[in-house]
Amino acid sequence: MGAKTSAASVYGKLSSFRMMGYGLGDAANNFVWGMTSVYLMFFYTDVYGISPAAVASLFLVARFLDAIFDPVIGMIVDKTNSRWGRFRPYLLFGSIPLSVMFVLCFSTPDMGNTGKLVYAYVTYILLGFLYSLVNIPYSAMSPVITQDQRDRTKLMTYRMIFANVATLIVSYATSPLASWFGGDNTAKGYQYTVGLYAIVAIVLLLGCFKSTQERIPIQKEVSTKGGLKTLMKNRPLLLSSFAMMLSGGANTIFFAIPAYYFKYNVGREDLATYYIPVVLLMGMIGMACVPFVEKRIGKKNTLQLAFLITIVGSICLYFTSYSSVTLIFIFSALIGLTLTVPWVVGWTMAADSVDYGEWKTGVRAEGISYASFSFAQKVATALAGSLSGILLTLTGYVANQTQTVTALHGIAFSLTLAPAILTLGAMVLIFFYNLTDRKYAEIIGELEQRKAQQA
């Protein structure tokens, strides 16, 4: 019996219901993550009145603290042993605190310039901590849901499609909802809209908790030393983490800049409402194709193909005239087709890397492994957000004013060439990724033999 067959036969094929249930969790997370990625910088600069440079510093400081928080959370998760399992309790008990902090992050108490900045620091840092407390165990749960490679790819496809649906809703509905809730009071509109998203996120996280199962046996406790050892010796995990950090940075910039691009470069602020939904819809089409493409050319080649298309589309968009709205949407749709594909393949690679780490070191450490992946994702968001803020500042951007030619070029560069450069870096890293499908099958077979001998 082959290794792939063994993994599926021992634990059974995963039902579509379980896959969709798992996807609910990332839908919830992306009501939070999508809103902060797409709107928070714009909210801070143009609604709350914080300078782009100060926002850039805030993002960097928050991610520095994540460098401390995320590994600690990962190690705590690896030591968790409850009647609900190792990972699911964090969905149950973390949903409400995360949602409350989400609302506070998009609130605008009148505290003066210094007070506003302090408030932004406190709420954003706490939001990042609580997001990690939910998202790290949520992500780390996937390796114990199934070890079958095809099921894992389908599981990640469901996850990313659900995540994109949430981001699509956020992108399309936020402006109309904010106008409906707040009228002329933009700050109130944002707060009430986020309050609605927070309630939805709680329901989705509880639904994920209820409909998922931890099916693969895990070690009762992982020592801190053992967890760090398996992390540092896990080449596939480190390579995929750094590659996804760069790819995630490209995503963050690409989704953060359209509000500026259409308001100032194109002169059609209304188009921003339609732009991101079009890109996300194309992204869902691209992600739905991943299982079929991966089955034919493998994970690594699927990822490299997606990177290449993203780079080509970004370069074409950079050289497109601001007045050519149709071409802007065509090239952006091409980028959207592949921009989020790396997260389907990347999270599947992360799950495979957990098994690789167990095979390599004898220690199975989902928590610390996924903490590194989550940290890479948040570093990407922070650095990309900071880079966007720095570029806007250096090129002379002034909120709600007519922009200079240099500032317009800075906005266009941030939307197109900056993501292309980051994607190229990710492409180079994945070139050295060496955990092939055949090698993974051999690893699963050997792990099953070890477990059989220990039984």
pLDDT tens digit string along 106-116? 998 888 889 99
Query: CA nearest 211: which of 451, 15, 428, 12?
Result: 15
Average pLDDT over residues 405-425: 93
Average pLDDT over residues 252-258: 84
Residue 374 near residue 368, CB atoms below 8 Å? no
- pLDDT at residue 306, rounded to an integer: 96
Q: How many CB atoms lie within 10 A of CB 8?
A: 19
Of the chain, the percentage scoring pLDDT greater than 70 comes to 93
Alpha helices by DSSP H, listed for 141-265, are 149-182, 186-211, 224-232, 235-256, 258-260
Give the CATH number, domain containing residue 112: 1.20.1250.20
Confidence label for 4 from pLDDT (cuts 50, 70 and 90): very low
Confidence label for 1 from pLDDT (cuts 50, 70 and 90): very low
- Looking at the domain assignment, is residue 6 inside a domain? no
User: Which of 74-78, 321-325, 361-365 is modeled with the greatest confidence?
Assistant: 321-325
Query: CA nearest 343: which of 410, 285, 290?
Result: 290
- Looking at the domain assignment, is residue 9 inside a domain? no
Q: For residues 147 and 160, give the distance between their C-alpha atoms in angstroms, rounded to a whole number.
A: 18
- Looking at the domain assignment, is residue 343 inside a domain? yes
- Looking at the domain assignment, is residue 4 inside a domain? no
pLDDT at 40 over 50: yes
- Looking at the domain assignment, is residue 3 inside a domain? no
Confidence label for 6 from pLDDT (cuts 50, 70 and 90): very low
Domain count along the chain: 1
pLDDT at 3 over 50: no
Whole-prediction pTM: 0.74
Q: Give the model confidence (pLDDT) of 89-125 as tens digits.
A: 999 999 999 999 999 999 988 888 899 999 999 999 9
Radius of gyration of the CA atoms of the chain, in A: 21
- Domain span including residue 318: 15-214+223-454
Average pLDDT over residues 344-355: 85
- Looking at the domain assignment, is residue 69 inside a domain? yes
pLDDT at 255 over 60: yes
Residue 144: which region, alpha, beta or left (left: phi > 0; alpha: psi -120 to 50)?
alpha
- Looking at the domain assignment, is residue 104 inside a domain? yes
- Looking at the domain assignment, is residue 62 inside a domain? yes
At 82, give phi and psi (nearest 5°): -130, 175
Length of the chain: 455
